Amino acid sequence: MLHILPGFVNNAKVIAPYAINAQSVVDCVLVLLVAVLLFVLSRNEKISKKEGVLFVLLYVAYSVYVFVR
């Protein structure tokens, strides 16, 4: 088992200099906001048609945003 450890240490050197992209931060924030919205709207264990349409519109808006940027 200890013979695998040097491989993990060398791979950590490759991963460490990863730069954070501004677009990735925006994507993460949007995903978190939609997740919170989903949690809030599903507290009564059912999502109405209006809420479902809201999520579809959010999905379409995000898709347009991704393709435009």
pLDDT tens profile 10-67: 555 555 566 677 778 888 888 899 899 888 888 888 888 888 898 899 899 989 988 9
pTM above 0.75, yes or no: no
- Which tokens hold the place of 33? 């906001």
The set of residues, in sequence order, having a beta carbon less than 8 Å from that of 34 and lying 6+ positions away, is 55, 58
CA 21 vs CA 4, 39, 43, 46, 51: distances in Å: 31, 27, 34, 36, 31
CA distance 38 to 45: 11
